[in-house]
């Protein structure tokens, strides 16, 4: 059996070939066999609201009150978030917000400290 890459979406190790595509049986994500996805290139150009380049481990400050979907809670302006992790997808940042917990943030609502 060939050594196929893990799914870039959910990191499942059971991807299989289906014609010119690779398919993930867990999340149904499909991607081309010959595509070499390098997340470091796409993640290296994530910028904050002021245009500063963000990287893993940075500390950022929230620049706008953010309502948390599904709750009545709000992440207040000025909240400092330490040790961020950059991810690809709808939200650029995975982090733990003090008083709220783990969540995803968009880079356009933070500034680098």
**Is the pLDDT higher at 11 or at 110?**
110
pLDDT in tens, 5-43: 888 888 888 888 888 889 999 888 888 877 644 555 567
Residue 49's CB is within 10 A of a number of other CB atoms, namely 17
What's the pTM value of the predicted model, to 2 decimals? Answer: 0.63
pLDDT recorded at residue 112: 95
- Compute CA distances 45 → 81, 90, 111, whole Å: 20, 15, 15
Backbone angles phi, psi at 18, to 5 degrees: -140, 90
| Rounded-to-integer distance, Cα 11 and Cα 57, Å | 22
């Amino acid at each position: 059996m060939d050594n196929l890459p893990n799914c870039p979406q959910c990191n499942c190790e059971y991807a299989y070939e289906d014609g010119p595509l690779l398919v993930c049986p867990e999340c149904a994500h499909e991607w081309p066999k010959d595509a070499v996805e390098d997340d470091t290139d796409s993640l290296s150009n994530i910028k904050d609201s002021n245009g500063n380049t963000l990287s893993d481990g940075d500390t950022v400050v929230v620049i706008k009150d953010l309502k948390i979907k599904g709750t009545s809670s709000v992440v207040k302006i000025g909240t400092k978030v330490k040790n961020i992790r950059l991810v690809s997808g709808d939200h650029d940042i995975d982090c733990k917000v003090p008083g709220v917990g783990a969540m995803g943030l968009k880079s356009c609502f933070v500034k680098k400290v």
